[in-house]
Amino acid sequence: MTIYYILLGAIALVSWLVSRKLKSKFNYYSKVHLRNGMSGAEIAEKMLSDHGIRDVKVVSTAGMLTDHYNPKTKTVNLSEGVYNQRNAAAAAVAAHECGHAVQHAQAYEWLSIRSKLVPVVSVTSGMSTWVVFGGLILAASTEGAGGQLGFYIAVAGLIMMGFATLFSFITLPVEYDASNRALAWLKRKNIVSQEEYKGSEDSLKWAARTYVVAAIGSLASLVYWGFQVFGGRD
- Give 154's contacts (C-beta < 8 A, 6+ positions apart): 131, 132, 134, 135, 136, 139, 228, 229
What sign has the CA pseudo-torsion 14, 17, 23, 28? negative
C-alpha–C-alpha distance, residues 54 and 86, integer Å = 23
Please give the positions annotated as active site: 97
Q: Is 143 left (phi over 0), alpha (psi -120 to 50) or beta?
A: beta
Cβ 160 vs Cβ 125: under 8 Å: yes
Mind giving me the DSSP string for 158-217? HHHHHHHHHHHHHHHHHHHHHHHHHHHHHHHTT-S-HHHHHHHHHHHHHHHHHHHHHHHH
